[in-house]
Amino acid sequence: MKKRALFSVSDKSNVVDFAKGLDRLGYELVSTGGTLKKLQEAGLPAIPVSDVTKFDEILDGRVKTLHPNIHGGLLAKRGDDGHLKQLEERDIDPIDIVVVNLYPFKQTIDQPGVTEAEAIENIDIGGPSMLRAAAKNFRDVTVVVDPEDYQPVLEQLEHGGLQVDDRKQLAAKVFRHTANYDAMIAGYFSEITGETAPETYTITYEKVQSLRYGENPHQHAAFYKQPNGKGASIANAEQLHGKELSYNNIQDANAALEMVLEYEGAAAVAVKHMNPCGIGIGQTIGSAFHKAYQADPVSIFGGIVALNREVDTATAEQLKEIFLEIVIAPSFSDEAMELLTEKKNIRLLKISMETANQNRQKVVSVTGGLLVQDIDDGKVAEQDVNVATSRKPNEQEMKDLLFAWKAVKHVKSNAIVIANQDQTLGIGAGQMNRVGTAKIALEQAGEQANGAVMASDAFFPMPDTVETAAKAGITAIIQPGGSKRDEDSITACNEHGIAMVFTGMRHFKH
Ligand SMILES: NC(=O)c1ncn([C@@H]2O[C@H](COP(=O)(O)O)[C@@H](O)[C@H]2O)c1NC=O
C-alpha cells in the first residue's frame, strides 16, 4: 500500500522542499487548501484532503480535517488486526506522516488593537487534533510540528527510516507544543475574563538558552521567557559584548534592572547577590554612577550595574576603572562602546526601560508548589506619608527619605537603608532581626550616618532600632508603621529630635 503523508501548515516555510523529499520517497501527499495550493504550484502531485474525507471544508475552514477518515488513518494501530479490519471495512487508508503547524495565535494576540474575534478565529482546532492523534500513535506515525525538523526527518527517512524512539521524541515535542499553545489561549482567556487566581495555573515559557549550570556548577539550568514579552526584561536584553550570561548573572541583572526602574531621574544601581550595594541619582548618569560607586567602593567589585540612561563617555570612563560583571543600560554611545569593549570580560546588555507591558504577577517555586502574587508595584509619594513625630522632615530629608524608601523595597528583608543627598550610604540586608540589620547598615555608613536618613522595609517592633539610629546621628526615618509598639518608637524619635514618617505600606522581600 502506498505510504501517505498529510500536510496542513500555517507557517509554510520550507514545506515544499520537505514535500518534494517525501514525494521522491514515494509518499502520497494529502493536504488542506492553502498548503495544497503551495504544493501544487511547486508541481507536486498533492491531493485535497476532501478527496480523503469525501466532505468539503465547511464553516470557513473551521471544519476541514475533523473527520473519521483522517483520524481513523492517524489513530489505527498497525499491529492490531481489529483496527486494520475496521479501516478496511470503511475504506480508510492509514496516514504515516503528519506535517502540521498551527494557526498563529501568539502572533495574532501580539498585534496592537487585536479584536477578540480575531484572536478566537486564530485558535486552531483541527491542527492540534491531528498533532495529538499522530503523537499518541507515535509507534506507527511520524509527526512533524517544527519546520526545523523537516531536514533531519527527511535525512532519516532517506537512510532507512525513523526508529520508534525518534518518533517518540517528535511526539514529545508535539505535546509540549500543543500544551504551550493551549497555555497561551488559557492565558488570553484568563486576561479577558479578569481571572487572576484560576483553579489550575497553566503558564508557558519559551527557551532563551541553556545555561552552563545553575546557581552552582553541579546544578543543571536553563533560561525561559514569557511568550510575547516586551520591554524592560532581562529576557529581552540585547547582549552587545561579553561572554554568555550565567544563572547568577541573570538573577542579579534582573534585580538591578528592577531597582533602577524605580527611579525617574538619572539613576545608577550596583548589585551584588541580588541586593543593592550602592544606589545614586544625579543630574547626569555619570554623577549618578559616581554616587552609586562611592556608596560602597568595595562591594561593587565584580558587581552588576544598571543605569536608566544612555551610557556616555564620562560614565564609560568611570565604569572602565572597575571590574564589573555586567552593565545594563537602555543604550551605549559609540564612544562608550569603544571604551567598554576594550574590557574582554565585561558583559554589556542593552535593555529597554519601557515598563508598560510588564507581567503583573510574580511566581516563585516552593518544593512541590508555586506561589503567585501581584508584583510589588507599590509606590509612595510625599503626600502619601504621615508624619508621626513632633518634628517634620525638612525638604532635603523628605527627598532623601523617599529616595531611601525606593531603595529599601529592593533589599532582602529585614532591610535597612541609610541615605543622604541622593546616595545610599549603608545597606543592611537579610538579617533575622531588624536592629541587627540596622547595625550593619549604620556600620557601613560609618561617620556619614551622622545627618543621614534611614528607611526600614517593615515596622519597628520595638524602639531599639530608633535608639541605635539616634546614636549614629540619623535625623529622619521612613517606615511603614503599624506596630503595636509604634508609640515607643515615636517617643524615642521625639526624645532624639528625629523626624519619622509612616508610609502605611510594607515592602517585605523574602
Ligand atoms: N478545522 C480543521 O479541521 C483544520 N484542520 C487543519 N487546520 C489548520 O489549518 C492550517 C492550514 O490550512 P491551509 O492549508 O488551508 O493553509 C493549519 O494551521 C492547520 O492546523 C484546521 N483549522 C482549524 O481548526
Mutate to test the pocket of ligand 1, among 106, 124, 131, 181 (most ligand atoms within 8 A of CB): 124
Q: Quote the pLDDT of residue 268.
A: 98
pLDDT band at 196 (very low <50, low <70, confident <90, very high): confident
Ligand 1 centre from 10 Cα, in Å?
Answer: 7
Task: Find the helix or strand (DSSP H, E) in which 269 lies.
Answer: strand 266-272
Q: Measured from the CA of 101, which atom of ligand 1 is nearest?
A: 18
Lowest-confidence pick of 92-106, 185-199, 286-300, 351-365: 351-365
Phi, psi of 195 (to 5 degrees): -85, 120
414: cis peptide before it, omega within 30°? yes
Q: Measured from the CA of 12, which atom of ligand 1 is nearest?
A: 16
DSSP letter, residue 27:
P
Q: Cα angle at 13 between 10 and 14, to 5 degrees? A: 130
Q: Quote the pLDDT of residue 357.
A: 75
Residue length, the chain? Answer: 510
pLDDT in tens, 197-234: 899 999 999 999 999 999 999 999 999 999 988 899 99
Mean pLDDT of 84-105: 97
The interface pTM score, or ipTM, of the predicted complex is: 0.92
Mutate to test the pocket of ligand 1, among 6, 7, 10, 185 (most ligand atoms within 8 A of CB): 10
Grid cell in block for residue 84: 486494520
Question: Whose alpha carbon is nearest atom 4 of ligand 1?
Answer: 126
Q: Measured from the CA of 36, which atom of ligand 1 is nearest?
A: 14
pLDDT in tens, 28-45: 999 999 999 999 999 999
pLDDT in tens, 130-140: 999 999 999 99
Can you list the domains of the chain with their CATH numbers? 4-193 (3.40.50.1380), 245-350 (3.40.140.20), 382-502 (3.40.140.20)
Q: Measured from the CA of 131, which atom of ligand 1 is nearest?
A: 20
Residue with cell 536592629: 435
Ligand 1 centre from 446 Cα, in Å?
Answer: 69
- CB of 389 sitting under 6 A from ligand 1: no
- CB of 290 sitting under 6 A from ligand 1: no
| Neighbour count for residue 388 (Cβ, 10 Å) | 18
pTM for the full predicted model: 0.91
| Neighbour count for residue 358 (Cβ, 10 Å) | 16
Ligand 1 centre from 103 Cα, in Å?
Answer: 7
Whether residue 479 contacts residue 456, with contact meaning beta carbons closer than 8 Å, is answered with yes
Ligand 1 centre from 34 Cα, in Å?
Answer: 9
pLDDT, averaged across the chain: 96
Question: Whose alpha carbon is nearest atom 17 of ligand 1?
Answer: 9
- CB of 272 sitting under 6 A from ligand 1: no
pLDDT in tens, 152-195: 999 999 999 999 999 999 999 999 999 999 999 999 999 999 99
Where are any strands of DSSP class E within 226-264? 238-241
Tell me the pairing of strands 347-350 and 238-241: antiparallel
- CB of 8 sitting under 6 A from ligand 1: yes
Q: Quote the pLDDT of residue 20.
A: 98
* Residue 2 confidence (pLDDT) above 90: no
Query: Which residue is catalytic, options 12, 37, 83, 136?
Result: 136
- CB of 424 sitting under 6 A from ligand 1: no
Ligand 1 centre from 292 Cα, in Å?
Answer: 56
Ligand 1 centre from 127 Cα, in Å?
Answer: 6
- CB of 58 sitting under 6 A from ligand 1: no
- CB of 124 sitting under 6 A from ligand 1: yes
* Residue 433 confidence (pLDDT) above 80: yes
Q: Measured from the CA of 11, which atom of ligand 1 is nearest?
A: 18
pLDDT band at 334 (very low <50, low <70, confident <90, very high): very high
* Residue 474 confidence (pLDDT) above 80: yes
Q: Quote the pLDDT of residue 358.
A: 77
- CB of 62 sitting under 6 A from ligand 1: yes
- CB of 63 sitting under 6 A from ligand 1: yes
Side by side, the strands of the sheet bearing 476-479 are 238-241, 347-350, 324-329, 303-307, 266-272, 275-282, 423-428, 416-420, 453-456, 476-479, 499-502, 386-387
C-alpha 222/C-alpha 210 separation (Å) is 4
Whether residue 492 contacts residue 468, with contact meaning beta carbons closer than 8 Å, is answered with no
- CB of 35 sitting under 6 A from ligand 1: yes
Grid cell in block for residue 256: 538591578
- CB of 387 sitting under 6 A from ligand 1: no
pLDDT band at 350 (very low <50, low <70, confident <90, very high): very high
User: Is 136 one of the annotated active-site residues of the chain?
Assistant: yes
Ligand 1 centre from 58 Cα, in Å?
Answer: 12
User: Is 159 one of the annotated active-site residues of the chain?
Assistant: no
Q: Measured from the CA of 33, which atom of ligand 1 is nearest?
A: 15
- CB of 32 sitting under 6 A from ligand 1: yes
